[in-house]
Amino acid sequence: MKIIISPAKSLDFESKVPTSLYTQPRFLEQSVKLNKKLKTLSKNKLSELMKISDDLAALNYDRNQNWQPPFSTENAKQAIYSFTGAVFQGIDVNSLEEEKIPLLQNNLRILSGLYGLLKPLDLIQPYRLEMGTRLKVGTSENLYKFWANDLANSLNDELDDNELLINLASLEYFKALPKKTLKVPMITPVFKDFKNGQYKTIMTYAKKARGLMVRYIIDNNVTTIDDLKGFNIDNYRFSEEMSTETDIYFTR
C-alpha cells in the first residue's frame, strides 16, 4: 500500500529526532533548480507570489538564501519529524513504535512543491512552496507543469500492479498526480461531519482525520479496502451509503 499526503506550512526544525535513520530526497536535482529560481525573488515578490505577510516573506527569503545541499543531519531534518500541521498531528510520529518506522517509510509519501515526492525519512531543509504557486521555472508556467509526470512515474515505479494507492492529500496536491498516468486506481477517503442538518467537510477536522487514517493504517498494517473501512477513530464510521468505488466516506 502507498499513502499520499500533503505537506504542512508549519515546520519544526528545533526538536530532536528519536532516530538516526535518514534518506535523501529522490528529486533533489529538481529541487536545486527550483531553489535557484526562488533565490532570485525579493521579499516583496515572495509576498506577492505566495500571498503571505511581510514577516513570512522575510522568513522565507532567508530560508531560500540559506537552502544548500548536500543534506546531512547537521543541516537538515527528516521530513516526517519536520512538518507539524494537523495531518502530522494526527500521525503523531513521536508516539509511533520504533519497529513501525520502516513500514511508515515504505508506505507513506509526502507530496511537496519543492521536493516533489518525499519518503518520511528523507532529509529536508526549511522551505515554503505550495504546489499551487504560479512559479515559472524555465519553460514551465507553474509547478504542475514543472513536475509534469515525474511524480506519478516515481509512484508507478514503486507500486505493484494490485497494490492500493490511498489518497489523503488535498486537492491542490493530488492534482500533481494525473489519474490517467497512474497504474492503479486512486482510493480517496473522505471525512464529513454532521452540522446544521447535513454532512459537511470541515477542513480542520478533515486534515486531522487524514493523519489519524495514516496512523490507523500503519498501526494495523492495513492492506485491503475492507481493512480500511474498519477505521473508527474520533467517532468516524464508514458510510456504505455515501461511498463509491473510489471515494470511501467516513462520517460522524
Give tens-digit pLDDT for 194-205.
999 999 999 999
Does residue 132 have a pLDDT over 90?
yes
Q: What is the separation of C-alpha 8 from the centre of its chain, rounded to a whole number of angstroms?
A: 7
pLDDT at position 100, please? Answer: 96
Half-sphere exposure of 99 (CA within 13 A, CB side): 3
Does residue 125 have a pLDDT over 90?
yes
Contact assessment for residue 233 and residue 212, using Cβ atoms and an 8 Å cutoff: yes
Does residue 244 have a pLDDT over 90?
yes
Does residue 133 have a pLDDT over 90?
yes
Show the 3-state SS of 215-239: HHHHHCCCCCHHHHCCCCHHHCEEE
Given pLDDT bands bounded at 50, 70 and 90, which one contains residue 179? confident
Half-sphere exposure of 77 (CA within 13 A, CB side): 15
Query: Among 138, 125, 132, which Cα is nearest to 60's?
Result: 125
138-170 pLDDT tens trace? 999 999 999 999 999 999 999 999 899 999 999
43-77 pLDDT tens trace? 999 999 999 999 999 999 999 999 999 999 999 99
Instruction: Say whether 80 sits in a helix, a strand or coil.
Output: helix
Strands (E), 121-236: 123-124, 165-168, 186-195, 198-200
Average pLDDT over all residues of the chain: 97
% of residues, the chain, pLDDT over 90:
98
The answer to whether the pTM exceeds 0.85 is: yes
Does residue 29 have a pLDDT over 90?
yes
Does residue 216 have a pLDDT over 90?
yes
pLDDT at position 225, please? Answer: 96
pLDDT at position 108, please? Answer: 98
CA end-to-end span of the chain, whole Å?
26
80-98 pLDDT tens trace? 999 999 999 999 999 999 9
% of residues, the chain, pLDDT over 70:
100
